[in-house]
Amino acid sequence: MTQIVVTGLGAVSPFGVGVKAYWDGVRSGTCAIRPVTLIEADGFRCRIAAEVPGPLPGSARRSRGDRMALGAAREALDDAGLGACERREMALIVGAVGGGMLEGEAWYWALKRGGRRLRAPQLSLRSILPWSHAEVIGSRLGLEGPRETIVTACSSGAASLAIAADLVADGVVPAALAGGADTLTRLCFMGFNALRLLDPDPCRPFDRDRRGMSIGEGAAFVVLEDAAHARARGARVYAELAGYGMTTDAFHVTSPHPAGEGMVRAMQAALARARVEPGAVGYANAHGTGTLQNDRIEAGALREVFGDGGLLVSSTKSMIGHTMAAAGSLEAVATVLALVHETVPPTAHLTTPDPEVAFDCVPGAAREVSLECAISNSFGFGGQNVTLLFRCP
Amino acid sequence: MEPKEFLDELKTLFVTRLKFEPRRVADVGFETALPKGVEGSVGLDSLDFIELGIAIEERFGIVIDESQDLAEHFASFGTLCRFIAERVKTP
Amino acid sequence: MRPRVFITGVGIVNAAFTGGAAALAAYLGAPRAVLGASPRFATPVAEVPAAALAAFFDETEARRLSPVCRLAVAAARLALEDAALVPGRELGLVIGTEFGDLRSTIEFANGYLGSGPTGLSALLFPNTVMNTMAAATTIAVAAKEMSLTLNAPLVAGELAVAQAALAIAGGRARAILAGGVDQLDPFLFEVLTELQAGADRRGEGATFLVLESEATALERGARVLGEIAGAAWRARPARPHGIGRAGASPAIAAALEAAGADAASVRWVYASASGDEARDVWEGRLLDEALAPHRPPRTSLAPLLGRHAGLGALAVAAGACTARSGLLSEAAESGPSLRTVERGRGLVHAVARGGTQVALVVDGPGELA
């Protein structure tokens, strides 16, 4: 069976541009959730989010989402040291939800509120759909292999890695660029407010006093490569993507299955595909949104799969919020770097652990620990569960 | 407002916000249960209850405290009418 | 040996007809164009009649399903029924869409713009995410394996079928509902006009195929409609929304290679031509070059049924019909007509502005029959 390895990382996060800024922020347990500036938040219970600080890389003629996606994609390709020739045959799989909706909303808001059409609708509308990120990255960076845009709600970023891994494993391509991107949008911010799922304060996953999630934005990409191909060109290998599981609850549009049945199957499928025993997994980067429902059900599912042992569990969302389609890929990058640095990033704002959560959720400060394998969980509306399993090379 | 008027207002919200067919709510009464899975209920799920909460806040100008367990108040049309009436009276 | 990928069912809801393999065969035997003037649209479109869906849902289920979700769920149920497959856990879903649930998204935004935060609908919010049709469908048919929504300009349906075929050929799935769905909306046309991108003949509807591995299909004695012998997709160099230069088609080459076939064996082609002249010409050149010196008869169903993501999957099912019957539906100036072609394998092809190109080598049930 083809071994799939990670040879490049790229990130644009609420800590700024670049993987270094992202890892520094995540490792130090810094919270990047602040008052919203990109959109109007008046009248909402929650008025905070984790925005990517300016200035963004790339042309202002592109949408915010395309700029973040392109920035992270470029960093990952450069990091992997892949030249133009190798790039040409690479697959490009992008997880996306909001696309260029932020700019599309501005156009629509102006139309509905003032009855005026914003000038240059080409700029605000051309890149509105999720597929825009892939088209921009593909054409700018010269990727001519299989191209796909995947929408599995909040697990889109993780699903993109799974699908890319399949294309490499099937021998369709020797390498793939995979990841997700999402900006803050009015629709998303208003919708989660309407669902009463947002904490007015920065989210507190796994804390007894949690009151909901925070929204964030960002982009992350990884280069996945056939291990033999990576070895042949002398590439640096961060980790192996040893397995994944992708399942569907088929239960409810917004609520996870109460017993976490689909989550359990996703984690078990990842273990089975990687031929790894649960005991070999030392760290789980949780979906960890900070809603009562998610945290309790995810903790129960983790317990069912990994038992009450020494698994460390932490939530990157406690620092950068829920970055939607980017979440699965940003958290995959954090999981890979946890293996590389043998350091588990902490859960921020965790002061009073929920007694119903049977795990050490690494409150406040990062933990140095030797790790063999780690998983990253991502779950989305529509019962879309993805687990990625990484192993030290 | 009389209890019957609260019921009529709720029926209207079921049609406008929860997309029920008007004839489906025409014959519901105070005793008709709301949550899915209860016999004879109109079959609301978690998302319906959130929508209904928003709709009630907007229509009656009250604020519903979600940190409370609201299940007993959202059990039937009758319990919900009482819940709203109490809050409309004491702002 | 990689598992072969069989088509064992099809479910279709569109402006012309609603049904399974038999309804498709009947339509292809007597094709008619359904693009027409609509009071809601400035250009001729192919709209699904409201009555077409009424029989699929009781009141309780219909209340919570948006119109585009209803299209998807109805087509999925038809496909499973056509395949005589009981809904259940060993079923995956891959669905392509170009525009998602745009109508609900606009309605959701209008709630806020009309009444502020209390005007927002919690019920509509999940529909603003493009996987809403997949969510509704997986719940309706209890599909618990991989569920994927693919968003792409123009080629989303073909892409979804190709992606699903690869998952089965790779041994990662036994049975997948694969197809596409899209819905027309007047506001969408306003935006397309604003972007000067309104030339495509557009329709709406949903099509799902049931794809199964050979072993799964034979094990349960399934009727086989056809086979996806090879599937591949690649990106041709082009700017977003742009047309590329003609040239080689690695997607066609890879699909033929996977099928163990060569250009000479392609008897017919279903292409994606839909009235966007520059793109249609580009597609023609790509096909010419990829299949040269052969020039098998070529058709597109878009002028008949209107382009939508469901049509990509429908073309694959139609291809399996053509492979069996030797009949190819055409939209000539004088009206729809039939042309006789050599029976056997052919190509379903699509290319989008921006360069995504999909190729599927489709065969009839052939020697299995």
Read off the pLDDT of residues A170-225 as tens digits, 9 standing for 90 and up: 999 999 999 999 999 999 999 999 999 999 999 999 999 999 999 999 999 999 99
* Domain termination site, one of A177, A201, A232: A232
Q: Is A46 a catalytic residue?
A: no
CA gap A379, A286 in Å, rounded = 10
Cα distance between residue C196 and residue C182, in whole Å:
20
Q: Which of A154, A188, A361, A373 is catalytic?
A: A154
Chain A nearest C-alpha distance from B28 (Å) = 26
DSSP annotation of A242 reads E
Best mutation site among B24, B45, B47 for testing chain C: the one with the most C CBs within 10 Å? B47
The CA distance from C210 to C179, in Å, is 9
- Residue among B21, B24, B51 whose CB faces C123 most closely: B51
Domain C228-368 CATH assignment equals 3.20.20.105: no
Chains with ≥3 CB–CB distances under 8 Å to A: B, C
- Lowest model confidence (mean pLDDT) among B42-56, C12-26, C130-144: B42-56
How many angstroms separate the Cα of C266 from the Cα of each of C181, C254, C344, C362, C365?
Answer: 28, 14, 8, 9, 16
Domain identity same for A250 and A223 = no
Instruction: For chain A, give the percent of residues with pLDDT over 90.
Output: 92
C150 near C131, Cβ under 8 Å?
A: no
Does one domain contain both A221 and A267? no
Report CB contact under 8 Å: C113, A152: no
Report the alpha-carbon distance of residue A227 to residue A240 in Å, rounded: 8
Phi and psi angles of residue C226, each rounded to the nearest 5 degrees, phi first? 180, -175
The gap from C-alpha C201 to its chain's centroid, in whole angstroms, comes to 15
The number of folded domains in chain B is 1
> What is the arithmetic mean of pLDDT over A150-156?
98
Nearest CA in chain C to A105: C109
Question: Which of these, A250, A246, A386, lies nearest to C138 by C-alpha position?
Answer: A250
Residues A35 and A174 in one domain: yes
Q: HSE on the CB side for A388, CA within 13 Å?
A: 37
Which pLDDT does position C1 carry in this prediction? 65
A247 in the same domain as A175: no
Domain that holds residue B80: 3-89
Q: Closest chain C residue to A129 measured between Cα atoms?
A: C99
End-to-end CA distance of chain A: 16
Q: Do A194 and B54 touch (CB under 8 A)?
A: yes
**Taking the CB of residue A309, how many other CB atoms lie within 10 A of it?**
12
Spatial contact of A248 and A286, defined as CB atoms under 8 Å apart: no
Interface test with C, best of B51, B57, B62 (most C CBs within 10 A): B51
Q: Is the pLDDT of residue B5 over 70?
A: yes
- Taking an 8 Å cut-off on Cβ atoms, the answer to whether A195 and B50 are in contact is yes
Residue C187 clears pLDDT 90, i.e. is over it: no
A194 contacts in B (CB within 8 Å)?
Answer: 50, 54
pLDDT of residue C43: 81
- The amino acid sitting at A122 is Q
Whether A147 sits inside 8 A of C100 (CB atoms) is no
CATH of the domain at B85: 1.10.1200.10
**CATH code for the structural domain at C5-219:** 3.40.47.10
Identify the pLDDT of residue C248.
92
Best mutation target among A44, A46, A190, A195 (most B Cβ atoms within 10 Å) is: A195
Through-space distance between the first and last CA atoms of chain C, rounded to whole angstroms: 22
Question: How many CB atoms are located within 10 Å of the residue C191 CB?
Answer: 20
Which pLDDT does position A308 carry in this prediction? 86
**A214-249 per-residue burial string, b: 16 or more CB within 10 A, e: under 16:** bbbbbbbbbbbbbbebbeeeebebbbbbbbbbbbbb
Residue C311, helix vs strand vs coil: helix
For C299-311, the pLDDT digits (tens) are: 999 999 999 999 9
Residues from chain A that touch B53, judged by Cβ atoms under 8 A, are: 196
* Contact call for A252 and B66, based on CB within 8 A: no
Contacts of A390 (CB under 8 A, 6+ apart): A6, A239, A240, A241, A242, A332, A335, A336, A339, A373, A374, A375, A376
Q: Are C166 and A194 an interchain contact pair (Cβ–Cβ within 8 Å)?
A: no
Residue of A nearest to B46 (CA): A255
Residues of chain A contacting residue C135, judged by C-beta atoms under 8 Å apart: 153, 253, 381-384
Give CA angle at A261 (A258, A265), nearest 5°. 155
Contact between residue C225 and residue C11 where contact means Cβ atoms under 8 Å apart: no
Tokens of C205: 């509807």
C251-275 average pLDDT score: 97
A170 and A297 belong to one structural domain: no
| Closest partner CB to C122 (pick from B24, B43, B47) | B47
Single out the residue of C256, C227, C233 nearest to residue C4, CA to CA: C227
Residues with Cβ within 8 Å of C159's Cβ and at least 6 positions away in sequence, in order, are: A148, C96, C150, C152, C233, C312, C356, C358
Q: Is the pLDDT of residue C367 over 70?
A: no
pLDDT tens, C82-105?
999 987 779 999 999 999 999 999
Residue A237 lies in a domain: no
CA distances to A60, A123, C349 from A119, in Å = 15, 9, 37
Could A148 and C240 be called an inter-chain contact, meaning their C-beta atoms sit closer than 8 Å?
A: no
Last residue of a domain, one of A199, A232, A265: A232
φ, ψ for residue A39, nearest 5 deg: -140, 165
Question: How big is the CA angle at C110 (ends C108 and C116), to the nearest 5 degrees?
Answer: 95
Bridge partners of C16, per DSSP, are none
Closest by Cα among C72, C266, C45, C92 to C182: C72
How confident is the model over A152-180, as a mean pLDDT? 98
Q: What percent of chain C has pLDDT over 90?
A: 83
Question: What's the average model confidence in pLDDT over A68-88?
Answer: 97
The 10 Å CB-count burial string (b at 16+, else e) for C338-365 is eeebebbbbbbbbbbbbbbbbbbbbbbb
Q: Is residue A297 part of a domain?
A: yes
Catalytic residue (one of A133, A188, A203, A287): A287
Measure the CA angle with vertex C263, ends C257 and C265; round to 5°: 95
Chain A residues near residue C233 by CB distance under 8 angstroms: 146-148
Same domain? A135 vs A280: no
CB contact under 8 A, A254 and B47: yes
Who contacts C182 (Cβ-Cβ below 8 Å, separation ≥6)?
A: C68, C97, C98, C99, C156, C204, C205, C206, C308, C309, C310
Which tens digits make up the pLDDT trace of C201-246? 899 999 999 999 999 999 999 999 999 999 999 999 999 999 998 7
Cβ-based neighbour number of residue B71 at 10 Å: 11
Whole-number Å distance between alpha carbons of A26 and A11: 12
8 Å CB contact between A99 and A129: yes
Cβ neighbour number for residue A84 with a 10 Å cutoff: 9
Pick the more confident residue, A146 or B86. Answer: A146
Contact C109 A105 (CB under 8 A): yes
> Has A154 been annotated as catalytic?
yes
User: d(Cα C365, Cα C321) in Å, to the nearest integer?
Assistant: 9
**Minimal CA separation from C340 to chain A, in Å:** 34
Minimum Cα–Cα distance from B64: chain A residue: A196
Inside any domain, residue A238: no
Do A332 and A273 contact (CB within 8 A), yes or no?
no
CB-closest option in A92, A167, A190 to C112? A190
Asked if the Cβ–Cβ distance from C117 to A194 is below 8 Å, we say: yes
Closest listed residue to residue C130, CA positions, set C154, C112, C153, C104: C104
Per-residue tokens: C34: 């359904």
Kindly determine whether residue C139 and residue A251, on different chains, have CB atoms separated by under 8 Å: yes
**Inter-CA distances, A295 with A193, A211, A344, A350, B47, Å:** 18, 11, 19, 13, 19
Mean pLDDT for B19-31 is 93
C117: its two tokens: 């935060």
How do strand C346-351 and strand A367-368 relate by DSSP bridges? unpaired
Indicate the number of domains in chain A.
Answer: 2
Share the mean pLDDT of chain A.
96
Q: Based on the fold, state whether residues A191 and A43 are members of the same structural domain.
A: yes
Whether C153 and A129 lie within 8 Å, measured CB to CB: yes
A367 to chain C, closest Cα gap in Å: 34
How confident is residue C369, by pLDDT bands cut at 50, 70 and 90? very low
Helix ranges, A195-226 (H): none
Domain interval for residue A359? 243-391
State the nearest Cα–Cα gap between C122 and chain B, in angstroms: 5
Please give the C-alpha separations between residue C154 and each of C150, C151, C232, C272, C307, in angstroms, as whole numbers: 11, 9, 16, 8, 8
Q: Which of A46, A133, A257, A322 is catalytic?
A: A322
Spatial separation of the C-alpha atoms in residues A186 and C70, rounded to whole Å? 26
CA distance C190 to chain A (A): 11
C5-219 against C228-368: fold identical: yes
Q: What is the CATH number of the domain that holds A76?
A: 3.40.47.10
Distance (Å, whole) CA A110 – CA A121: 11
CA-nearest residue to C239 within chain A is A139
Q: Choose, out of C144, C154, C188, the residue to mutate when testing the contact with A (most A CBs < 10 Å).
A: C144
Handedness of CA C156, C162, C165, C169 (dihedral sign): negative
Q: What percent of chain C has a predicted confidence (pLDDT) above 70? A: 99
**What is the model's pLDDT at position B67?**
75
Residues A336, A339, A340, A342, CA torsion sign: positive
Are residue A125 and residue A196 in the same domain, yes or no? yes
pLDDT greater than 80 at residue A290:
yes
Out of A96, A153, A250, name the one closest to residue C144 (CB).
A250
Ordered alpha helix ranges (H), chain C = 21-29, 51-54, 59-63, 67-82, 102-115, 132-141, 156-169, 186-194, 214-219, 250-258, 277-291, 302-305, 309-325
Containing C19, the helix (H) or strand (E) segment is strand C18-19
pLDDT at residue C368 in the model: 47
